[in-house]
Amino acid sequence: MQKTFTIGDLARYAAVPVETIRYYEHERLLRKPARTHGNYRLYLEADRERLSFIRYCRSLAMTLDEIRQLLRLQDAPDDTCETVNVMLDAHIDQVAIRIGDLRRLKRQLQALRDRCGLARTAKNCGILSGLNAAATLPQPSANGGDRAASTAARSKAGKPRNLRWKSSPRQVRV
Amino acid sequence: MQKTFTIGDLARYAAVPVETIRYYEHERLLRKPARTHGNYRLYLEADRERLSFIRYCRSLAMTLDEIRQLLRLQDAPDDTCETVNVMLDAHIDQVAIRIGDLRRLKRQLQALRDRCGLARTAKNCGILSGLNAAATLPQPSANGGDRAASTAARSKAGKPRNLRWKSSPRQVRV
DNA sequence: TGCACACCCTGTAGTAACTTCAGGGTCAAG
DNA sequence: CTTGACCCTGAAGTTACTACAGGGTGTGCA
């Protein structure tokens, strides 16, 4: 007699809301489970393992698409695993780039922070005036749009780095 | 005679789509401008400056809420600027935390990558088996939910770090 | 004057990875 | 039977945009 789990069991096991599990089912990361007579989902050990896998990959900041690929490979053990290598390499590169972005950002923020000494009001605020000064430095021409040879400050003002991991394709990628 | 700008002028100046400008107006970061007879938006130099400010703050990965606060302060020059300090400090802390997260993540990914030597198929894939092994290590009890003294691996499997910057309040914050 | 093209408008919907809400059903214990 | 915990589906919201649909405006040229 195989052990079964309700969605609540699974959720507690993986420390996620039940909604997330339903979401993963909707997104086809998890299979549609059997149901009880009362229409409750009935999960097996394999489902539990699969959810753990997904959560761990999420903890590695992989997108659901990436995880889908990995799951597909797991379900096809005789396929080549070159895909995994390529994906992981790209992933590692992205993390490295992002680390660099954040370091530069931190330095910028710290420089800005250091401008605020004894000021008490907004009109004397070194940070606000610093933000204003930086915002006005890059005066691109009205016919802008060409990214060539832009200053770093202008580049930043015009293209905020997307700090959300693996943003949607519409978001600006660095 | 003051110089005026269309939305397209502003968009070119700030190197953003016109949609983003309309979005900022909708989000009350930019004021509703006057209109032409043909219902075109008519912007002034001050609007242009405000947009630059917003974009620069975005480049510093500030949320729109944070930027709203700063803009409110700018519009009230006699208010205290302590808010700015506090906000920037918190922001810097967040960036530092995120850098740490990403460095740990990179190490993890690299360790995982190093497992893949000569394997050619998914069933022999060091990475996949590594992911599986890690996913099954943290076996929390079915009555989980308590975060106390969790292992690092379990913590990661159960609470993926949100790598989106300043995620929505619903997303898990580290 | 008419046409073509670039630009403008509003409203709607989509993106990623969730999360919340509404409204209702099921299950088990007292 | 009641109560409370848990389950269900579908829809909508979060953040910061971005794209699309369908229509209007402005300008230059033939």
Could A76 and B142 be called an inter-chain contact, meaning their C-beta atoms sit closer than 8 Å? Answer: no
Check whether A92 has a pLDDT greater than 80. Answer: yes
Chain B interface, best mutation among A81, A101, A110, A137, by max B CB count within 10 A: A81
pLDDT digits (tens, 9 = 90+) for A19-65: 999 999 999 999 999 999 999 999 999 999 999 999 999 988 889 99
Q: Give B119's contacts (C-beta < 8 A, 6+ positions apart).
A: A81, B125, B126
Could B73 and A131 be called an inter-chain contact, meaning their C-beta atoms sit closer than 8 Å? Answer: no
What is the pLDDT, as a whole number, of residue B85? 86
Judge whether residue A160 contacts strand D, using its CB and a 7 Å cut-off.
yes
**What is the mean predicted confidence (pLDDT) over A144-170?**
30
Which chain A residue's Cα is nearest to B109? A92
Q: B3: closest CA among B49, B59, B38, B39?
A: B49
Could you tell me where the DSSP H helices lie in chain A? 7-14, 18-26, 45-59, 64-74, 82-113, 126-136, 152-158
**What is the mean predicted confidence (pLDDT) over A106-116?**
86
Confidence of residue A113 (pLDDT cuts 50, 70, 90): confident
What is the pLDDT, as a whole number, of residue B41? 96
Could A95 and B105 be called an inter-chain contact, meaning their C-beta atoms sit closer than 8 Å? Answer: yes
**What is the mean predicted confidence (pLDDT) over A2-25?**
94
CB burial readout B27-65, b (16+ within 10 A) else e: eebbeebeeeeeeebebeeebbebbbbbbbbbbbbbebe
Q: DSSP code of B5?
A: B
| Closest partner CB to A79 (pick from B13, B98, B122) | B122
What is the pLDDT, as a whole number, of residue B81? 79
Q: What is the pLDDT along chain B (174 residues), one digit of tens a residue?
A: 678 999 999 999 999 999 999 999 999 999 999 999 999 999 999 999 999 999 999 988 899 999 998 998 888 878 877 888 888 888 899 889 889 988 988 998 888 888 876 667 777 777 877 888 777 664 332 222 222 222 222 223 333 333 343 332 222 222
DSSP β-bridge partners for residue B80: A121
pLDDT over 90 for what percent of chain A? 35
Query: Side chain identity at B7, as an amino acid letter?
Result: I
What is the pLDDT, as a whole number, of residue B6? 95
Q: Which nucleotides of C are covered by protein (CB under 7 A)?
A: 7-11, 14-21, 25-27
Q: What angle, 0 to 180 degrees and rounded to 10, lies between the N-to-C axes of helices B45-59 and A126-136?
A: 110
Half-sphere exposure of A98 (CA within 13 A, CB side): 29
Helix (H, G, I), strand (E, B) or coil at B16: coil
Question: Which helix (H) or strand (E) is B93 found in, with range?
Answer: helix B82-113
Confidence of residue A143 (pLDDT cuts 50, 70, 90): very low
A151, B14, B50, B75 from A136: Cα distances, Å: 12, 10, 10, 17
Average pLDDT, rounded, for chain A = 75
Other Cβ atoms closer than 10 A to B71 = 19
